[in-house]
Amino acid sequence: MLSGLDHLVVTVTDMGRAVDFYSRVLGLDVRYRDAQRVDLMLGDTALRLHQTDTDIAPISATPTPGSLDLCLRCQLPLDEFKQHLEALAIDIELGPVARQGANGPIESIYLRDPDGNLLEICRPAAR
């Protein structure tokens, strides 16, 4: 019946700051849909940014910046990604640590975006 995820909405307080973080720190491609909506492309899936003070309908009942907990797959070895974060002075909250992903064991690093959303960056665990 369902086949995948098209987009996920991330509520942010400052569109420019969020676009900078997700593009510069995480390397996502930016697509401006209109003045109020920006898509950050992750393969064929989008993280769609909505700023809190814009009037976009329909929206979730209680859109709240900082309430997202998202796990993103990384192509780089986590040690290289960790070095990238450190070079940009991005705080690493935890990791690398062993976790269980949707398709098996993963290794993860945790950090936060400018709104406080928890971002888990993962790679399949070595077998």
| Stated length of the chain | 127
The DSSP call for residue 40 is: E
State yes or no: is 107 an active-site residue.
no
Q: In angstroms, how far apart are the furthest CA atoms of the chain? A: 48
CA distances from 111 to 11, 64, 94, 118 (A): 17, 18, 7, 6
CB-based contact 18:10 (threshold 8 Å): yes
Query: For residue 100, what are the contacts with CB-CB under 8 A and spacing of at least 6?
Result: 106
Active-site residue (options: 86, 93, 107, 120): 120
| Best CA proximity match to 21, nearest among 30, 33, 34 | 30
Active site residues: 120
